[in-house]
A = this chain, B = another copy of it.
Amino acid sequence: MQDAKTLYQRFNNDLSNLDFGQNPQRLYDPVYYSLGVGGKRIRPILCLMACELFGSNYEDGINAAIGIEIFHNFTLLHDDMMDKADVRRGKPAVHVKWNENIALLSGDAMSVIAYKYICETKSNLRQVLEVFSDTALKICEGQQYDMDFETMSEVSEKQYLLMINLKTAVLLAASLKIGAIIAGANEKDKKNIYEFGENLGMAFQLQDDLLDTFGDPDVFGKNIGGDIVANKKTYLLIKALETADTKQKKELNNWLSLKTFDPIDKVHSIKYIYQNLGIPEFSEQLMNQYFDKAFAKFDQINEKIFNKSILYNYALSLKQRDF
């Protein structure tokens, strides 16, 4: 079994050597661009680790891993259009670098290319495709809920958790399960590794929300407070609105309603309310509950501890990330 660093390098190398097509240029250039701006490659690494954990190898899993990563980047590309987010990983988003029509169509092409790679999977293809398509549709559902939240005055914690489950968690879960399917794992192990990934994904998203507001700006790589500026209904905001007293609620709602404001001032003020309410602690607590559930599911996977350690260490590194 290969460790995360080796898989990351090997995967990136393979990805950068792929030839999807060349003409028309304005269709394919954004595809290479999107995949070239980097990322942690968490989903393909999980897929490949699961594949190796259950006794198969890199070569058997690589096409599915590539398909999953391309699909993930396709969703980011279209999400950035919908969210009017102009920057992705420090570079201009496709709809900014080119235009909206190009972003729309090259995204569509990426989703087809993703399927092309998934379909190159040699073993248990039908099962792989079933999990992949179900997950792809759930991701669309999650994104729609996320957009619906923008115009809702109140979003419950339960609604929020369903949204991040669909938008983020199920793809991490599916990446692992697809690796396990390819390797021919048994039903119980497939279920456990899926639930490990699902809980890991929930924790991962809660952590992302937390880092967006309380991360170290030099390490996190995005502007701290972006969610606050955009009034994004994150766990932090939902929990704050739920626990705030009348005065704090009024102040929060006032910031949310302002059309013009000093962003630094807004971030500072809302962070201050969050801290007074103990929101970072609430958030960390819930996040750790999901990490604990994830590791409990992981313990039930019926493979040798020695083999499991690589995936375990990788999940642990995600838990300890600050970027």
Contact = CB atoms under 8 A, between A and B. Distances in A.
Interface in A109-123: 109, 111-113, 115-116, 119
Max chain B C-beta neighbours (<10 A), residue from A137, A140, A148: A140
Contacts of A148: 24, 26
A76 interface: no
Q: How many copies make up the complex?
A: 2
A126 interface: yes
A81 interface: yes
Contact of A112 (B27, B116, B137): B137
A308 interface: no
B108 A140 contact: yes
B141 A112 contact: no
A108 B105 contact: no
A104 B104 contact: yes
A21 B133 contact: no
A104 B78 contact: yes
A104 B116 CA distance: 21
A115 B143 contact: no
Nearest to A166: B24
Contact of A119 (B102, B112, B129, B144): B129
A244 interface: no
Contacts of A78: 104-105, 108
Contacts of A106: 140
A145 B24 contact: yes
Given A82-B105, A111-B111, A119-B126, 9 more contacts: A21-B141, A24-B145, A78-B104, A78-B108, A106-B140, A109-B137, A112-B133, A113-B137, A125-B126
27 contacts: A23-B141, A24-B141, A26-B144, A26-B147, A27-B140, A27-B141, A78-B105, A78-B108, A81-B104, A82-B101, A82-B104, A82-B105, A101-B147, A102-B144, A105-B140, A105-B143, A105-B144, A108-B108, A108-B111, A109-B137, A112-B137, A112-B140, A115-B129, A115-B133, A119-B126, A119-B129, A119-B130
